[in-house]
Chains A and B, each alone.
Chain A
Amino acid sequence: MNFELNNEQSMAREMFAAFAEKEVKPLAHDIDEEERFPAETVEKMKKYGFFGIPYPKELGGQGCDVLTYIMCVEELSKVCGTTGVIVSAHTSLCADPIYKYGTKEQKEKYLVPLASGKKIGAFGLTEPGAGTDASGQQTKAVLDGDHYVLNGSKIFITNGGVADIYVVFAMTDKSKGVKGISAFIVEKEFPGFSIGKKEKKMGIRGSATTELVFENCIVPKENLLGQEGKGFSVAMTTLDGGRIGIAAQALGIAEGALDETIKYVKERKQFGRSIAAFQNTQFRIADMKTKIDAAQLLVYRAAMLKQAGAKFSTEAAMAKLFAAETAMAVTTECVQLFGGYGYTREYPVERMMRDAKITEIYEGTSEVQRMVISNALLK
């Protein structure tokens, strides 16, 4: 077993960290405050290839590996959870299913622009009545000659409106239940497709989270992703990968909060000495760092299993469950160590605490992760 990054991975990590510090951190407070999508950062990340890290060069990607992509999300999330999820949703939820299930033509047409950063991607599965129970899809797709006609709506879609390409799920045969779900690649400009309400959120407030509306939306037949009726499996496999991305986001948020807190407790003086001199602070810092490292090992293991082409569904669920709960626990502790200042927007830890919460909810709640893990053990 090897716990060392190779030369390429460690240089890439340093580059991501430098980019995050210089380009992402200065905007993190304002985009949260203004609920503004960081378009200028996204342009820079497109230019530097952040949107196609794990894909082959011939498909427009960077030719790196899953772990390098995961470390990118981690480093960005250390300073800004919003920026981390923009990359994660694009890569894991849109580019990945096209890479795995797309035809040669679909890869040429959609993966190449996604991986090279010319286009941004999103994923539409959740509906008002189909969250954790994704099988309750109401959006319908009816084949009509050379195209499908989609009707229905999706909610809580990350990168909604800012994305150019959407992987969308709809019922092609309601009578078959989950076996009647199919996946489609939908372009933003397709007739009948529009962006609905934008959510006002607790955290990751710079990230665009919107409704997708399909009113007799015309999707060419060749945009069916995978086979008809196999959409549920496309969705579940995609979410397995997506969970590693969200786990990395959660991990980064926890690491970022701890970094801020270590700086603060050394400076903050109470009772005539820095609060870092109190054993209460020391033990809390030690516990947080230990949890973070455990989370990191789980996240990296899941990434390496995915890279190796091995089964990683359970490991991804464990990584997301533990990293998300660590992020929530660590950021809460960090706010506590900052005291009153931690509760204000003058310091970033309250933002990090708000950002952390979503990692326990999206791409499968912590409860869903426990279901996935226990199902694998008890079957």
Chain B
Amino acid sequence: MPELADKQRLDRDFTELYRAHLRDVYSYAYYRIGNHHDAEDITEQTFVQAYRHFERAQRESNGRPLRPWLIRIAHNLAANYYRDRSRRPQTNLDDAAILSAPLDTERVVEEREEVKEVLEGVSKLPDDRREALIMRFALDMDNREIARALGRSEGATKVLIHRAIRQLEQGLKEDQADE
């Protein structure tokens, strides 16, 4: 049984983890699920689960960052979400980055179209490739972190990301050819 002082230290550390990575977990959940409502639920459940297992995770991390562990929890919860509802991710574009851009110019309209195409392309990728891209580009995680979050080797992760980008590139080219 932990002593009170240990528990207070754990709570303090957990508060720091929460503050540092709330946006990461939310961004990951949002891009995986595709809507804000369910992304909020996944984020909440992620931190509740993380709190319950935080002591053990901290003990076993040997000082390594806990972000991959946190994202892995979100990843498992998102996987359950799809299993339970037999859904594919949505690309709820109006709510994401696009609205933050200024309006009016033709260039902005083109950029919005491009962003929309990329997000749609990402949503069509196989789960593991899509997740790796979200972690790399939305969360700015390096190969080592992504490997830990996905439970793969660094080499396999590097290959996974490379193939994901290649597949996306191919898909975008095909879409352009169709138009």
Q: Do A and B bind each other?
A: no
Interface residues of B (CB under 8 A from A): none
Interface set of A (CB-CB < 8 Å, partner B): none
